[in-house]
Amino acid sequence: MTIALRGTGVSSGVAIGKVHIVERNRVEVSEYQVAVVDLDSETQRFHNAITIARQQLRAIREHIPPGLAADISGFIDTHLLMLEDGAITQEPVRIIRERHCNAEWALKLQGDALSAVFDEMNDPYLRTRKDDVHHVVERVQRILLNHGPMRHELPDSRLRDYIIFADDLSPADTTMMEHHGIAAFATEFGGPTSHTAILARSLGIPAIVGLINAREYVRSEDLIVVDGRAGLVIIDPDADMLAYYRGRQDRRHRYIKGLARLKGLPARTQDGIDVKLYANVELPLEFESVKEAGAEGIGLYRTEFLYMNRSEPPTEEEQFEVYRQLIESMAPRPVTIRTLDLGADKQVDGHGNPLEANPALGLRAVRLCLKEPSLFRPQLRAIIRASVYGNVRLLIPMLSNLDEMYQVLGTIDNIRATFSNQGIAFDENMKIGGMIEVPAAALCADAFARHMDFLSLGTNDLIQYTMAIDRVNKDVNYLYDPLNPAVLRLISMTIKAGKRAGISVSMCGEMAGDEHFVRLLLAMGLNEFSVHPRVLLQVKRVIRSTSVDEIERLSQRLLRSHDARTRQSMLNRINANLEADMTD
């Protein structure tokens, strides 16, 4: 019998395959009393388990497939760091001695207490960090109980093309998936901002989380379909469904194959407008895919991911190395390095104020950097030093007024002067630009354009702040509308301000990578797009099929309209001869 289960799709794509159930055999822990004379040896047993857990994690890190190294090992480092933290290593010892209880029980109590703290946090990103605590606690408990390692962590190429079903997966599990050709995964727990979900998207593996009680319905070797975009798992699909999904997979393969021929071709419209097509990257592991996709450079490198999953920020030297390698490998193509955009949904320990009432309106990005020079200066120094190795553009996020811009430019001048005195090389002509993602900045884009070498439109935030909606709050998502006239006006003002000042304006928000908006944006005068490498050729396809001249009038009507239906109908007409959406 066919059964359909719905969860939260966190990485799109269709997979059809047999199920492999990952049995974590949840550890059952019970309490027993330990005699006073045995408390020392119980404590020692606990310390030994912690040591073994560290050894296991280090072994996993060493076996990460090459090419996935830097950022992925960061996820494992998070768990290793937890195993250094007194909350995990010391507090259970105190509990053992106070309650005279066994080590497993003490660790369970402490794990529950830590989970409760995370539950109370008002921040979805931090709340999902609870998963990390859970993984670490479970690992140590399994050692204490002699359960052996979690089976699925061991590399196993027999699982090629299987769909993994689990209650939950750790980032360490996920790192192995691409290497062993796993087709997709589905879990009962986890959220869209969990590390596991982030990795699934980076690796391009369809994934669904939040499939509550799913394993009551699914058995090993069952044939299932995973529809990552819809968040749907179909168990035992009938012939029609299989035909439908196989059709979608085939179309997708043909479409991707067809797109490959666009790689060497220019991103030029039918009426001869040349467009620059750049890539957005987050993780060093994506750097190669940028060139494969034929990007003309990197339009947005979100450096904050370098700062996550670790207790200390990366040093100047460490950053310099990452930037230098990227810049050299892309040269002479431009690499736009955005300075830290921490805060809001991207927190790291020890910086900013994670308990702000309105984090999106709080100490974020350039605001945080200006407040914490010890965080900001090493990054600026690393970028400026790396600038001699190719074509670097430095991008400042979340500017709200010119004063912030002056402060950053002043700091950069100061660092350059020091370098000149010390004979440290840097590119004196490195371009410096600003993100336009706060409505105040868009309204004053002309002033920014007079002082900056380029502007970059961050529509994800520009829409959030224009519409006064939290971009991660599903209840107000309906207001997240790139076609809203206020949003379109701000975009248009920014593009025009750039043109008047003779500087380039690109767009690096998700709107730029959505095929449906590409033509409208071209008609609005945008000719630099920065998009995820996976959609780059799709955007190029739309650009090459567009005649801006032909859609000019429809676009003007759309931009003038305050009626949502009219705008949608104009957009449909603008996109009339685009093929059906093939994005999953």
Residue 320 CB partners (closer than 8 Å, separation 6+): 381, 382, 385, 386
State yes or no: is 508 an active-site residue. Answer: yes
Closest CA to 279 of 268, 269, 267: 267
Partner that binds at residue 508, options ligand PEP, Mg ion, none, CB closer than 5 to 8 Å by kind: ligand PEP
Residue 111 CB partners (closer than 8 Å, separation 6+): 133, 134, 137
**Least distance from Mg ion to the Cβ atom of residue 461, Å:** 4
Q: Which is nearer to ligand PEP, 535 or 548 (CB)?
A: 535
Q: Which residues of 150-177 are buried (b: 16+ CB within 10 A; e: fewer)?
A: bebbeeeeebeebbbbbbbbbbbbbbbb
Q: Which is nearer to ligand PEP, 22 or 395 (CB)?
A: 395
Q: Tell me, by CB under 5 A, how many residues bind Mg ion.
A: 3
Closest CA to 141 of 92, 188, 91: 92
Determine if 378 is a binding residue for Mg ion (CB under 5 A).
no
**Least distance from ligand PEP to the Cβ atom of residue 437, Å:** 5
What is the contact mask toward Mg ion in residues 399 to 438, using x (rule: CB under 5 A)? --------------------------------------x-
State yes or no: is 195 an active-site residue. Answer: yes
Partner that binds at residue 498, options Mg ion, ligand PEP, none, CB closer than 5 to 8 Å by kind: none
**Cβ–Cβ < 8 Å for 243, 250:** no
**Least distance from ligand PEP to the Cβ atom of residue 341, Å:** 5
**Least distance from ligand PEP to the Cβ atom of residue 48, Å:** 43
What is the footprint of Mg ion within residues 435-464 (CB under 5 A)? 437, 458, 461
Closest CA to 360 of 349, 383, 344: 344
Quote the CA–CA distance of 84 and 72 in Å, as a whole number: 19
What is the footprint of Mg ion within residues 559-578 (CB under 5 A)? none
**Least distance from ligand PEP to the Cβ atom of residue 15, Å:** 27
**Cβ–Cβ < 8 Å for 391, 328:** no
On the CB side of 11, CA atoms within 13 Å amount to 25
Amino acid making up residue 543:
I
Q: Which is nearer to Mg ion, 74 or 458 (CB)?
A: 458
Q: Which two tokens stand for residue 44?
A: 């020692």
Q: Which is nearer to Mg ion, 211 or 487 (CB)?
A: 487
C-alpha to C-alpha distances, 325 to 83, 221, 231, 262, 447, nearest whole angstrom: 31, 44, 37, 27, 34
**Least distance from ligand PEP to the Cβ atom of residue 95, Å:** 41
353-359 own/partner pairs: CB under 8 Å, 24+ apart:
354/121, 354/123, 354/126, 355/121, 355/122, 357/122, 359/123
**Cβ–Cβ < 8 Å for 85, 12:** no
| Chain residues in the site for ligand PEP (CB under 6 A) | 300, 302, 341, 437, 458-461, 508-509
Quote the CA–CA distance of 317 and 424 in Å, as a whole number: 14
**Least distance from Mg ion to the Cβ atom of residue 460, Å:** 5
Residue 476 CB partners (closer than 8 Å, separation 6+): 469, 470
* Residue of 20, 195, 351, 532 marked catalytic: 195
Q: Which is nearer to ligand PEP, 4 or 360 (CB)?
A: 360
Quote the CA–CA distance of 475 and 459 in Å, as a whole number: 20
What is the footprint of Mg ion within residues 287-316 (CB under 5 A)? none
Q: Which is nearer to Mg ion, 436 or 551 (CB)?
A: 436
The DSSP string of 323-374 is HHHHHHHHTTSEEEEE----BTTB--TTSS-TT-SSGGGSS-HHHHHHH-HH
Partner that binds at residue 509, options ligand PEP, Mg ion, none, CB closer than 5 to 8 Å by kind: ligand PEP
What is the contact mask toward Mg ion in residues 183 to 222, using x (rule: CB under 5 A)? ----------------------------------------
**Least distance from Mg ion to the Cβ atom of residue 341, Å:** 6
Q: Which two tokens stand for residue 125?
A: 């990103």
**Least distance from ligand PEP to the Cβ atom of residue 459, Å:** 5
DSSP element (H, E) containing 261: none
Residue 14 CB partners (closer than 8 Å, separation 6+): 206, 225, 226, 227, 228, 245, 248, 249, 252, 584
Q: Which is nearer to Mg ion, 461 or 515 (CB)?
A: 461
Q: Which is nearer to Mg ion, 111 or 343 (CB)?
A: 343
**Cβ–Cβ < 8 Å for 511, 517:** yes
The DSSP string of 66-94 is TTSHHHHHHHHHHHHHHTTSHHHHTHHHH
Residue 278 CB partners (closer than 8 Å, separation 6+): 295, 296, 297, 298, 299, 300, 334, 336, 506, 508, 528, 529, 530, 531
Quote the CA–CA distance of 82 and 195 in Å, as a whole number: 15
Partner that binds at residue 131, options Mg ion, ligand PEP, none, CB closer than 5 to 8 Å by kind: none
* Residue of 101, 369, 444, 508 marked catalytic: 508
Q: Which is nearer to ligand PEP, 230 or 486 (CB)?
A: 486
Q: Which is nearer to Mg ion, 72 or 340 (CB)?
A: 340
**Least distance from ligand PEP to the Cβ atom of residue 294, Å:** 21
Active site residues: 195, 508
Contacts with Mg ion by CB under 5 A lie at 437, 458, 461
